[in-house]
Structure 1
Amino acid sequence: MDRASDDIELEGIELDLFVEAMRRRHGYDFRQYAPASLLRRVRQLATNFGDGAISALTHRLLHEPELLPQLLEGLSVPASDMFRDPSVFRTLREQVLPMLASYPQITIWQAGCAHGEEIYSLAILLEEAGLYERSQIFATDLSARALERAREGIYPLRVAQQWSRNYLAAGGNHSLADYYSARYGLLKLDRRLRRHVTFAQHNLATDTVFCEAQLVLCRNVLIYFANPLQQRCLALFRDSLVRGGFLCLGLRERPDSAEAAADFAPVDANLRIYRRSTTAATEPAP
């Protein structure tokens, strides 16, 4: 075996040991995350918290439990934007919210909410549709630090122009500036946008059904999971949705297994918006 191959094998062993340490020491199971993506993030953490060796990071994981929140934040994927993929939000506004309006109480679950940009986008859609006062949004993420940032609703002011363009492209009929204040190079979203939002930790790899919802969003999260975990999540979303409820995924994600395809009918397959079948059998996700 040449040196390069030997280094790759050793790094693979180090990654396995890190994942096992995370599971056994702290109860977080990353064994079904996509290996290449997980390796990139663990490498970055090893650089941020040490000399670049994953083995050294594992030692700190085992002996410095106070680092766990920072490690979980690094292992999650918090990047997003308000009204990311505006055509998705326009379709939610024009096709999905009118259907949700028939419910006396609307419950929405966003799994993997990261820093909250899409949560606040949803709140604005509901507000403008006159539905926010009878809505409850559950925003969950693996990372407590990401959830804290989402609760704050504070972002760099430099994103405002792009977010405003996204908002208008998503069918916004006001100015996005109506929903935030700006000061010292930061924008702070109006507190009224989170008055019906509950933030909570939830682990898609191990936790069970979170709530009964009419709409579940989990966008640009499944792409970081290996296929068995993707299928577990899709079963979890199915079991969380009322019959006829809606599922919105990222543009590179789809329920393409035979079982998932039977559970979800496309509303707009290109935009990855689906509706739970009214005839699908429910079997709780393992």
Structure 2
Amino acid sequence: MDADKIEDIEIRLLLEAIYRRYHYDFRNYAQASIRRRLRQARERMGFATFSALQDKLLHDPALAAKVLRFLTVQVSDFFRDPSYFKALREKVVPHLRTYPSLKVWIAGCSAGEELHSLTILFREEGLETRTLFYATDINSEALEAAERGIYPLERIKAFTENHRLSGGRSSLSDYYTTGYGGAVFDKSLRERVVFSDHSLVTDAVFSEMHLISCRNVMIYFDRALQDRAVGLFRDSLTRNGFLGLGSKESLRFSAHSADFADFVREEKIYQRRKA
């Protein structure tokens, strides 16, 4: 048996071990991506084989937490893809204004960049006080970072430009102060946020959502897992609720595509059809 086939077996066993021991399920993530990230973890942690990594991981929860950081992508920006947020502001917000109260789910919130982008947008559009935000991720360290709301100062210039391009109605500097070696975003932006550990692989729906933003998460899933996630979003949305995906994601080949209509096609914003 050649080395690649042995590695495939080791990776499958390692992912099964992570699931059975720690209840994080990466078994149906896109294999090329998961293989690349596991190789990085193995090499940086100094293990010769995945079998050796698995043996240590099963008995060392601290090592499992380190491996989890490699398996969950924590890369985002404030107002990433500004045209997406501009479309939300100009096309989706007018519909949301018609509701007396709103629920918004940021699925895979990472370190909170998209969450803060949405709370700022909703504040600028006068919707924040009637909205409850749910920010979820499988990575507890990412959730803690999102709750802190502190970002490196060197990233603020790009954040500010994105905010401007998204149609921002104020200066981004209105929302943060400098300290702790970074930009500290106002804690009032998180007063209406519920932070929660949630897996799109294994967990259930959040009910009666008016907007779900899950961007650049499903590109790491295989087709079956993508379909599960989209079904979860469908069942979580109100009738005529909105779903926003990343620029490289689509519902085109989803088993649930008939349950959604294109709303702003070029920005991957969809609307749940009436039952």
What's the TM-score, normalizing by structure 2?
Answer: 0.96
CA contact (8 A) 1:220 1:252 kept: yes
Deviation per CA, 1:66-98: give whole Å up to 9, x if none: 333332222111100000000000010111111
Find the counterpart in structure 1 of residue 148 from structure 2. 152
1:100 to 96, 103, 111: 96
CA contact (8 A) 2:226 2:254 kept: no
Greater shift in the superposed pair: 226-235 or 52-61? 52-61
SS in 1 for 2:250: coil
Find the counterpart in structure 1 of residue 260 from structure 2. 264
Greater shift in the superposed pair: 267-276 or 9-18? 9-18
Query: What amino acid is the match of 2:8?
Result: G
Query: What amino acid is the match of 1:53?
Result: T
Matched, 1:109 2:108: no
1:200 to 196, 202, 205: 196
Find the counterpart in structure 2 of residue 245 from structure 1. 241
CA contact (8 A) 2:78 2:159 kept: yes
CA contact (8 A) 2:227 2:254 kept: no
Matched, 1:177 2:177: no
Query: What amino acid is the match of 2:91?
Result: Q
Structure 1: which 4+ aligned runs deviate by more than 3 Å? none
Find the counterpart in structure 1 of residue 63 from structure 2. 67
In structure 2, C-alpha distance between the alignment counterparts of 1:210 and 1:74, rounded to whole Å: 27
In structure 2, C-alpha distance between the alignment counterparts of 1:47 and 1:198, rounded to whole Å: 36
In structure 2, C-alpha distance between the alignment counterparts of 1:212 and 1:49, rounded to whole Å: 43
Deviation per CA, 1:224-248: give whole Å up to 9, x if none: 0000000000000000000000000
Matched, 1:274 2:270: yes
Structure 1 vs Structure 2 CA RMSD? 1.3
In structure 2, C-alpha distance between the alignment counterparts of 1:184 and 1:24, rounded to whole Å: 39
CA contact (8 A) 2:240 2:272 kept: yes
In structure 1, C-alpha distance between the alignment counterparts of 2:184 and 2:129, rounded to whole Å: 21
Q: Which runs of 5+ in 2 are unaligned?
A: none
CA contact (8 A) 1:73 1:144 kept: no
CA contact (8 A) 1:69 1:144 kept: no
Q: 1:214 to 1:134 in 2, by over 3 A?
A: same
In structure 2, C-alpha distance between the alignment counterparts of 1:35 and 1:259, rounded to whole Å: 21
In structure 2, C-alpha distance between the alignment counterparts of 1:78 and 1:211, rounded to whole Å: 26
Deviation per CA, 1:111-164: give whole Å up to 9, x if none: 100010000000001000111011000000011111111111111100111110
CA contact (8 A) 1:43 1:52 kept: no
CA contact (8 A) 1:243 1:278 kept: yes
SS in 2 for 1:114: coil
In structure 1, C-alpha distance between the alignment counterparts of 2:12 and 2:164, rounded to whole Å: 45
Q: Count the aligned residue pairs.
A: 275
Find the counterpart in structure 2 of residue 26 from structure 1. 22
Matched, 1:87 2:83: yes
In structure 2, C-alpha distance between the alignment counterparts of 1:231 and 1:165, rounded to whole Å: 35
Find the counterpart in structure 2 of residue 255 from structure 1. 251
Structure 1 residue 211 displacement after superposition:
3.0
Greater shift in the superposed pair: 183-192 or 118-127? 183-192
SS in 2 for 1:77: coil
Greater shift in the superposed pair: 65-74 or 87-96? 65-74
Find the counterpart in structure 2 of residue 138 from structure 1. 134
Q: 1:52 to 1:120 in 2, by over 3 A?
A: farther
Query: What amino acid is the match of 2:163?
Result: Y
In structure 2, C-alpha distance between the alignment counterparts of 1:9 and 1:258, rounded to whole Å: 30
